[in-house]
Chains A and B, each alone.
Chain A
Amino acid sequence: MAAPATPATEPETLEDASFLRDTLRAFRKNRMAMVGLAFVVLLVLGAIFAPWVSPHDPYRVALDEQLLPMSHTYWLGTDNFGRDVLTRILYGARISLMVGIVPSLVSLTIGTVLGILSGYLGGKTDFVVMRLADMMIAFPSLLLAMVVMYTLGANLLNIFLALALVGWASVARVVRSQTLALREKEFIEAARANGTARATIMFAHIFPNVVPTLIVLFSLSIPEAIMWESSLSFLGVGVQPPEASWGLLVAKGKEYIFQAPSVAIAPGIAILLTVMAFNFIGDGLRDALDPSMKD
């Protein structure tokens, strides 16, 4: 076949694009994201190895050492039971991180699948999914979560369940509206014109294009989940003392905010820093995953 001559000005090869390598390279170039990642890694290590790295016993009550200020022995002071605040924060990180990440992943997965199905298939599927989501959003979510916790019992697994139940609806809505926009794109029409199966279109074409949004949603839902957990714990249906979670630490610490501000403020700062770190990572990942940002 007489192939048309390749124009002389075209380069021999374009830069070979390896998706993973390019993404990692782009991510590494983002300084804020790397700082965020470093913080999260340190935090995770601190949480895992809390029994070894923490200077004190998190449960030891010492009534003669209540509400001490920051010192060499107690870097962040002590709480109303005389427990070391830094140690409690490290132990609390175990629960707070899990509560932040696990239910977010669950609600993201459910929301993404339902959102894409709803947006792409439309019709009855869309109607049913969206009315369900409307109900979830219209129902006071705190009440819903409390009902779950009361009926099923206050333990970590049920916190996950309650948070996932509350969280999927808004994810589904965002993903659905993105899917609706993507469905009209010419490359989706091209796939339809090629006789590509619907499932392939939904999960090979549409899904990769919602990933950046999902990453942003994920980085936003982690702090949200941490806040939710603290609300539930505050109301007494979440994490039960003497276990520690950051939300619980803030909630309990705020009663002594004038005598010993570090008891509430230190876990508050931990939440703040963690939330920021995840946001930086999320931004970095979103940019790094966009193929057109790499050049």
Chain B
Amino acid sequence: MSLIAFPILFPFILIIILLIFRSDRLSRWFGPIGTGLLAMLSVYLLVLVREHGVIALQMGGWEAPFGITLVIDYFSALMLVVSSIITFVVAIYALYFLTARIRLNRFFIFFFGLIMGMNGSFITGDVFNLFVWFEVMLMSSFVLITLGRTKDQLEGGIKYLALNLIGSLFLLAGVGLLYGKTGTLNMAHLAQILTTDDQAILMNTSAVLFFVAFGIKAAVFPLYFWLPASYHTPDVTITSLFAGLLTKVGVYTFFRFFTLFFVHDPQFWHQLILVIAGFTMVAGGMAAAAHYETRRILSYHIISQIGYMIMGLGIFTPLAVAGAIFFTLHNMLAKTNTFLVSGMINKVRGTYLLKNIGGLYKEYPLMAILFIIPAFALAGVPPVSGFFAKFILIKAGIENGNYGITAVAVLTGLLTLYSMLKIWNEAFLKVQPHNEFEKNTIQKLSFMEYLPSVILGAASILMGVFAYYVFDFTMEAANQLLDTELYIKTVLKGYQ
């Protein structure tokens, strides 16, 4: 069972090796191979979870709730698998698309730092430990976002850093209040205490602090402003990495906290979450519709999609939570893919502004196909993954009688379709306008440059075609989230 610690340990070892041998040639091999091994490890962990239900490891032999516990259940295992696929393709993509000014060695050191922090947040079973992993992830992302050291990047970095640090401090304050009232930080133990305690309503002060902290990380409605101000500044490789992973860690912790132990006041929290989900969807979708730069459109669109994930949490039936998990997994794949394609467009044309580009469909038909797959997935066209994700969510909404949010979700789908069609029309169908970007064309992209996008596109399609099996997994994950007994029993085996 000590394998559970490896998603954290392995990137850590790689960071040390990369720090000692500061060679770009070595990094070229270490990036893809390291993340590939991590992907295999994650799949193996998913198999283990399928066998045992929930697996836990008590670090240093200190039994829970006194030590730090690492726990993997279906939800964490699924997140580990999908995020490791994304890191794998981004590692390949970085070899070909990272600007020459950024040294590969530096990039991969912080790349693995980000992976370590993210994996740690996925598998930890301790609230304070979660804060530490969040910080590891944030520090790496601060460095990554400013790695190019241009004026825009530093400015975006300051905004990104300012709001996220305040979020972290909120999280820490929440941890303090939580510990003051319950005397424990182990999530399973917290669940045991708070579900049986009749004064649990007092926990709302702490829960609000966590809500704001995770809201900032996940970029929900009134707290999202750091995202569109910073995501379009760094190198496109780094943006793709962030787009697929960072906000989803926030969503993950939302689910973990508000299904496991902050369940004492459902009327208030679910209503609040639903309202915020609705605003997040609409605000992000509208802003995406108003922009004419691929990375800005896609950044705002990230926000819009976060609304759907939170919506599943607000409806809070097993089907809705399963739908939200399905949506999260699908969105991580498709969103990263659209950013990868926008990077390709930039490579062949030298700009991200839609008004300067056009005619790509004729020149690069493969690129057009690679764009249309994730675009259809995001817009929810069958048979690609997004259709089923939205279908499950909307079905759950109607079944539970949440007609308002369901209507918003359906209408936001149109906004998504609009912004995707905008990129499609402008970049691919329209005739190339006569300007300085016209001659900027590289004749051909090599197969390896297409490969990352091909892998993600194939994953999106497979997730749509075999939606039945994926749904089985997410349903299992939702049942585990809503029925916390197994989680608590596995973690607190010796305690009780």
Asked if A and B are interacting partners, one says no
Could you list which residues of chain A lie within 8 angstroms of chain B, going by C-beta atoms? none
Could you list which residues of chain B lie within 8 angstroms of chain A, going by C-beta atoms? none
